[in-house]
């Protein structure tokens, strides 16, 4: 988690991708959104 001014950033690896969520919202919200993202693989 990083904060620059009023903007919070959170990054995490998701399979072979790097997911970054940022927003002018509470840090808990940014982290919750990032942790809720899932990759849906096509069959």
> What percent of the chain is modeled with pLDDT above 70?
100
C-alpha R_g of the chain? 12
Domain ranges in the chain are 2-36
Residue-level pLDDT at 2: 92
Q: What pLDDT band is residue 43 in, cutting at 50, 70 and 90?
A: confident
- Whole-structure pTM value: 0.82
Report DSSP letters for 1-29, one per residue.
Answer: -EEETTEEEEEEEETTEEEEEEESS-HHH
């Amino acid at each position: 988690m990083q904060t620059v001014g009023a903007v919070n950033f959170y990054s995490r690896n998701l399979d072979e991708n790097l997911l970054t969520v940022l927003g002018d919202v509470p840090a808990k919200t940014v982290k919750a959104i990032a942790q809720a993202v899932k990759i849906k693989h096509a069959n």
